[in-house]
Structure 1
Amino acid sequence: MGRYGWISLTTDYGTFDGFVAACHGSIARVAPDVRVIDITHHVPPADVTRGSHVLAQTAPYLPESVHCAVVDPGVGTDRRGLAIATPGGVLVGPDNGLLIPAAEALGGIDTVVELSNKDWFLGDLSRTFHGRDLFAPAAARIALGAELTEAGPRADPGTLVRLPAPVVTLGDGYVEAEVLTVDRFGNVQLAATGGLLGGLGHDLLLNGGVRARRGATFADVEQGDLLVYEDSAGQMAIAVNNGRAVVVLSVTPGDLVRVANR
C-alpha cells in the first residue's frame, strides 16, 4: 500500500484523562512524522452508532488518511480488530459495526484483514486499552506504507459486524425517520436524506402536533421557530432558530420523528 501523511482519531475517550494522549504517543513512537487529526473524542461512552455516523460524515472531507476509530465496549473479548482498505483510505478499529458506514462513504470495502500480528502490537496488549496498544500503532504502520496482509489474515467482508439499518418510512405526505444524531447546538439529524424534503410542502407538523417550516437555513424561520432542512451531511434535520430542537421535540437518538404536511 502507499504511504499516508495523515491519521484521524475518533474515540469515546473524552479529554479529561490521558487516553487520547497515549494514542497520540503510540502513533508518534511508530510514525513521528505522520500528522494526526482528532475528529472527536466525545462520542458518548460505548455509543458505537453515534461514533459510526460521526466518522462516516467526516472522513470524506479529510485528506486521504488512515482513520483510527475506537468506540469499543467489547474490548478484551473475542471481537476482532480490523483494518479495512477502501478507495478513499484505510479504516482501523474494532469489528462492531463502527467502521462500516465510513467504509461505504469512502467508496466501499476493498480488502479486510484481522489485526493479529503480535509484532504490530505496542508491547503487551492490555485487555482494556486496545486503542493505545493495537489500533493506534497499527494505523501508524499502515500510514508508513506497510501492507495490510502483514497485519494478519484476510477476512471475508461478509462476516463483518454491521449495525442495524436506521428506520426510514415514506408515506402519503409524510416521512418518518429515526433520529441519527443530536449535535451540540441541539439540532436533530434524521436517517432520512435531505432529498426527501422535495416530496413535502413548506408547512409541516412534527410528530403530529409541533408546527415547523421547511427551509434552507436557520434564518428562514422566525427566532424560536422550528425549521426542517437538509444539513451539511445531506441528511434531513430539524433545528430551532436560536434554540434547541432536541428540547422542543424531547427526542434522543433511536427515536422516531414523523415529518408530515400540515
Structure 2
Amino acid sequence: MKPQTAPRAITLLTDFGSGSSYVAQMKGVILAALPSATIVDFSHEIEPQNILEAAIYWMEAVPVYGAATVHVAVVDPGVGTSRRILLLELEQGGLLLAPDNGIAAPLIELHRARSLFSVENVALFRASISSTFHGRDIFAPVAAYLAAGGEPSSVGPVVETYEPLELRSPTVEILDQRCTITGEVLVVDRFGNLMTNITRDLLSQFGAAPQLALSSAEVILGATSIGAIGRTYGDVEQGEVLALFDSQGRLEIAVRGGSAARRFGAATGARVRVVLDPPRA
C-alpha cells in the first residue's frame, strides 16, 4: 500500500433506498476493514436499475470532490452475470468503482483517465460472495482497500474497453432563419423538475448568432408552450411554470412551489423543443 496520512473518503451511490439494510451492510463491511473510514452518502434514492440517472448523478457530483476520494456506484441490474466491475483512476487522482454497465462512461469520456482496471482479485473480496449482492461482498471491501491506500493496479488487469452509455444528443434544424432545437427530459428530480439534455452552451451557439436572439427563445414541452427562458425560480409567482438553466447548465422546466412532472404528466423521454426566432427589426 502507498503510505498516506489519512484514508481516502468513500462515497456511495446506490438504488437500494435510504432505509434499506443493504446500505448498512455495505458500510459495516467498510468499517470492519477500515474503522477510520469517512463514508459520504451521495444518494441511495436512484430509481431502481436506472443506469442513466446514476451516470448523470456521478457526472454532477464526482468533479467537485478532490483526489483523495473513492467513489462507489452500485446500480447493478447485471449483478451475478458475466458483467465486469471496473476501477477507473482519474488523472486528478480520484478513483471510481462501478459495474461495467455505462455508469462510468460519461466520466471516462469527459475526464482523462489515467488507467482502467477490471476488478478480479478475489483476495480483496469477502470470503463468501453472494450472486445477488456484490455491493457488500466485492464493492465494499475493495473500496476499503483502496481508501486505506491500496494500489489500484492490485485489483486486476488493465483493460482498454468499457460499456458505453447511450445518450441521445439534441437535434438542430434551421429553416428560414428559425432555429429549432429538439431534445428530451433526461431526469425528473425529487421536486418534479424536468431536467433536459439541452444545454446553455448549445443554445448559446445559436443565440449568439446575429440572426437569432436567445432572449426570444420559446420552450415547448410536448405540445405545451412553457414560454421564454428565465433566470431563477423567483422570476414567476407560486404555482407558475418556467424554464431556466440549472446549476449544471442544463435546460430545466419547473413549477415554482410545485411539480412540473405532475402538472404536465411528463416523464423521462418527454420531448422538449426550444425555438429561436430571428430578432425583430
Q: Return the TM-score normalized by structure 2.
A: 0.86
Is the CA contact (8 Å cut-off) linking 2:226 and 2:242 kept in structure 1?
A: no
The equivalent residue for 2:56 is 53
Write the mapping of 1:239-254 to structure 2, written as runs, cut at 5 A.
239-254=254-269
Q: Give SS of 1:10's match.
A: strand
Structure 2 counterpart of 1:216, from 231, 242, 245: 231
Tell me how far apart the structure 2 counterparts of residues 182 and 243 of structure 1 sit (CA, whole Å).
Answer: 13
Quote the residue 1:62 is aligned against: 65
**Equivalent residue for 1:11?**
14
Q: Give the secondary-structure state (helix, strand or coil) at the position aligned to 1:214.
A: coil
Is the deviation greater in 77-86 or in 198-207?
A: 198-207
Aligned residue runs from structure 1 range 1-262, under 5 A: 4-64=7-67, 65-88=69-92, 89-105=94-110, 107-156=111-160, 159-172=161-174, 173-198=179-204, 199=207, 200-202=214-216, 204-206=218-220, 207-261=222-276
| Native 8 Å contact 1:213 1:221 kept in 2 | no
* Distance 1:101-1:205 versus aligned 2 partners, 3 A rule: closer
Q: Cα offset for 1:205? A: 4.0
1 CA distance for matches of 2:217 and 2:96?
Answer: 42
Structure 1 gap segments, 5+ residues each: none
After superposition, give the CA deviation of every residue in 1:2-33 in whole Å (9 maximum; x if it has no partner): 75521100000112321001111111122221
TM-score normalized by the length of structure 1: 0.91
Deviation at 1:55, TM superposition (A): 1.4
Please give the alpha-carbon distance, in whole angstroms, between the structure 2 residues aligned to 1:214 and 1:240: 13
Instruction: Report the alpha carbon displacement of residue 216 of structure 1 after superposing the two structures with TM.
Output: 1.1
Structure 1 or 2, whichever has the larger Rg, is 2
Work out the number of aligned pairs and report it.
259
Structure 2, unpaired ranges of 5+: 208-213
What secondary structure sits across from 2:215 in the alignment? coil
What SS is found at the alignment partner of 1:110? strand
Q: What is the root-mean-square deviation in Å for CA atoms of aligned residues?
A: 1.9
Counterparts of 2:138 and 2:103 in 1: how far apart (Å)?
A: 16
Q: Identity percentage over the alignment?
A: 36
